Amino acid sequence: MNTSSKFVVAVHILTLLSSQKILLGEKSLMKSDFIARGLNTNPVVIRRLLSLLKAKKLVDSKAGPSGGFYFKYDPSTVTLAMIHDIVEPGNLYHMYYSSPNKECPFGSHIHGYLKTLLCSAEASFKNVLAEKSLLDLVNDVLNKVEHKENLTKEEFASELKKNMKAISSKCSQK
Amino acid sequence: MNTSSKFVVAVHILTLLSSQKILLGEKSLMKSDFIARGLNTNPVVIRRLLSLLKAKKLVDSKAGPSGGFYFKYDPSTVTLAMIHDIVEPGNLYHMYYSSPNKECPFGSHIHGYLKTLLCSAEASFKNVLAEKSLLDLVNDVLNKVEHKENLTKEEFASELKKNMKAISSKCSQK
DNA sequence: ATAACTGTAACTAAATTAGTTACAAATAAA
DNA sequence: TTTATTTGTAACTAATTTAGTTACAGTTAT
């Protein structure tokens, strides 16, 4: 198993930033401290990942008090496949298994066919990710909240805003 | 990227054992030394992987001089998906990203939808692997050899046998 | 001016992997 | 029956990757 959590964390972050843009407006910013709290991890880990996403032009940031990060695009146009390609480039499995010896008249031919098959399987994996946009994920959550907690989008937006402020003040308490 | 080569190496080994069964007969055995040569690696690495495949009943072995390994089943009934499940159990990506904090009214709901999607993408990956059997891989190689090197199956079988003996004698020279 | 952010370098610790040495147990062959 | 060959496995090393952490320079709203 791939032990990296970069992909799931990046999706989590970008879904948060998308929801913030939709619920709280274009100009709203989210701090790395707040995001890190929600993932039980360290703000530096979040900033490191956001630094990569910024280099790829998906997000932008503002330093200083009341600074933070925001998502640059329309959440409906960014798919999980794009995010995967950014944070986990290359193949799911590498094919550099001790470059097969040409001495073996049979074994030396396996590599090529196996590589072709793996590429095709990985393409299939990514096709599923390509069918899901950040907006889809945001809507999944919003629908759940509206139905299960009987909150309107507006009520939920103000709850989110309140929570962001509460967490921010907790962080600065330290 | 997953840096493990267990899957590709296991497929390589089992394709070799399958070809040996088809070309050289049921009783034919292949040594870990010979397999390791073809992969430019260490016999212990090969035996370790074969030990797992033996525990899963895919192969069996015989100790002592002229001992070795053999594939127990019909190569047409074992798919690459089965092999993957054995040597890389679990998910392609783990979902234990710092179990999301319930404090965050939005973030706490993302996890479930992301997990569902990843499972579906992984299922799609494995479906492609499930369409390829060990026999398919053996036939890919045999067809290539017959066309490009103009060898009949019988000629190729004797070449393979010769090669196995040559490598074996090289190994015992040390 | 100050306080609150981002941005990033440097270090630690843990986990995983492949490779290696060594040797016990099994077994065919001399 | 002895010997040589092979599997089976434990123990260790080295390399790589990952997340977490501390520290601090640069930026900017208040």
Cα–Cα distances in Å, from A29 out to A18, A174, B94?
A: 11, 21, 29
For B81-111, write each residue's pLDDT tens digit.
999 999 999 999 887 665 566 778 888 899 9
User: Tokens in use for B19?
Assistant: 């070809």
Amino acid at A81: A
For A18-50, write each residue's pLDDT tens digit.
999 999 998 899 999 999 999 999 999 999 999
Counting as low any pLDDT under 50, the low residues of chain B are 173-174
- At B75 the three-state DSSP class reads coil
pLDDT at A174: 40
Please count the residue pairs, one from chain A and one from chain B, whose beta carbons lie less than 8 angstroms apart: 193
Determine how many CB atoms are found less than 10 A away from the CB of residue B73.
14
Mean pLDDT of A39-66: 97
Task: Report ipTM for this prediction.
Answer: 0.93
Q: Which residue from A9, A98, A103 is facing B41, i.e. has the nearest CB?
A: A98
B132·A109 Cβ contact <8 A:
no
A12·B96 Cβ contact <8 A:
no
Answer whether any strand C atom is within 7 A of the Cβ of A32: yes
* Whole-angstrom distance, CA of residue B66 vs CA of residue B45: 20
Give residue A172's pLDDT band: very low, low, confident or very high (50, 70, 90). Answer: low
* Whole-angstrom distance, CA of residue B131 vs CA of residue B166: 35
- Which residue's CA lies closest to nucleotide C20 at its C1' atom? B42
Give the closest-approach CA distance of B132 to chain A in angstroms.
8
Quick check: B127 and A124 in contact, CB under 8 A?
yes
Ordered domains of chain A (ranges, CATH): 6-173 (1.10.10.10)
Find the distance separating the first CA and the last CA of chain A, reported in whole Å: 37
Task: Tell me how many helices (H) and strands (E) chain B has.
Answer: 7, 2
Nearest to A132 by CA among B50, B139, B121: B121
B1·A109 Cβ contact <8 A:
no
* Whole-angstrom distance, CA of residue B161 vs CA of residue A105: 10
Mean pLDDT of A8-27: 95
Quick check: A64 and A104 in contact, CB under 8 A?
no
Cα–Cα distances in Å, from B96 out to A132, A140, B58, B142?
A: 21, 20, 32, 44
Quick check: B31 and B59 in contact, CB under 8 A?
no
* Whole-angstrom distance, CA of residue A69 vs CA of residue B28: 64
For A112-157, write each residue's pLDDT tens digit.
999 999 999 999 999 999 999 999 999 999 999 889 889 888 888 8
Chain B contact present for A99, CB below 8 A: yes
* Whole-angstrom distance, CA of residue A32 vs CA of residue B126: 36
User: Tokens in use for B45?
Assistant: 């690495």
* Whole-angstrom distance, CA of residue B100 vs CA of residue B83: 33
pLDDT at B1: 83
Q: How far is the CA of A97 from the C1' of C7 (A)?
A: 37
Which residues lie closer than 8 Å to B66 by C-beta, 6 or more apart? Answer: B29
Q: What is the DSSP string of B8-44?
A: HHHHHHHHHHHHHHHHH-TT--B-HHHHHHHTTS-HH
A25 exposed, middle or buried (CB, 10 Å; 0-12, 13-18, 19+)? exposed
Return phi, psi of residue A68, to 5°. Answer: 150, -160
